[in-house]
Amino acid sequence: MCGRFTLTHDIIQVQDRFKVTPMQPGDYRPTYNAAPTQRLPVITNEQHDHLQFFRWGLIPHWAKDESIGNKMINARAETLTEKPSFKKLIESKRCLVVSDGFYEWKKLERGKQPYRMTLRKGELFAFAGLWENWADRETGELIPTFSIITTDANELVRDVHDRMPVILPKEEEEHWLQDGLAPKEYLSLLKPYPADEMEMYPVGEMVNSPRNNSPELLERMNSR
């Protein structure tokens, strides 16, 4: 599962890394505690060179209301072709979700200890995601939404949680965005990121609340 992540780099670094321009520059700001329902930066298969801002929590086009999005922040890689909400999107609506870290919680006797997972050098990366547009039936507003794909945890993350978001190697990001491939080719990219290229460390309990969103959330803490 992936329920929180970070994007702490500035817009210039994001543009340089992904070769994109933001469609709405004023919407971008670093986040230390990205949470579901927030509008967050993605790059879609339809616009490789633009940074767009979609709501986290995929709402299928057929949904009657937006509340279903709260249950669809993640999509399991193993069942994408079986779920009605996702099986058509793997061929038509894929995206990169821009990030530089994510949080998971380890269950302990005294409670849960949050950890932050990053690449070893702290660089930017992208989660594999799916996206969809949903039209509000009352207002007619078109709301773009996304879900982050998850897979089995690698050896590092497994110590905290049995699932992890799919982090795409840099050289496979364009492959994920490329249209016209068979579903099995996209599915072959959805695997655990190498554990030896990642690191994790405990952080404070401030991250438990999405209301908290400041650099202090990244500080390394002593695990309990």
Where do the structural domains in the chain lie, given as residue ranges?
5-218
Which value, to the nearest 10 degrees, does the dihedral of the CA atoms of residues 133, 136, 139, 145 take? Answer: -40
37-41, 70-74, 140-144, range with the lowest pLDDT = 140-144
CA nearest 158: which of 201, 125, 114, 195?
A: 195
- Provide, for the chain, the percentages of residues in helix, strand and coil under a 3-state DSSP scheme, each rounded to the nearest 5: 25, 40, 40
The correct CATH number of 5-218 out of 3.10.150.10, 3.90.1680.10, 3.90.1150.10, 3.30.1330.40 is: 3.90.1680.10
Note the pLDDT of residue 223: 54
State pLDDT tens for residues 99-153. 999 999 999 988 899 999 999 999 999 999 999 999 887 787 899 999 999 999 9
The residues annotated as belonging to the active site are 2, 104
State pLDDT tens for residues 153-179. 999 999 999 999 999 999 999 999 999
Both tokens of 57, joined, read: 């929590």
With b for 16 or more beta-carbon neighbours within 10 A and e for fewer, the 48-84 pattern comes to eeebbebbbbbbbeebeeeebbeebbbbbbeebeeee
Note the pLDDT of residue 25: 60
pTM: predicted TM-score of the whole model, two decimal places: 0.95
- In whole numbers, what is the pLDDT of the chain averaged over residues? 94
Distance set, CA 155 to CA 6, 16, 28, 36, 102 (Å): 21, 31, 33, 26, 16
CA nearest 118: which of 127, 129, 109?
A: 127
CA nearest 40: which of 127, 116, 157?
A: 127
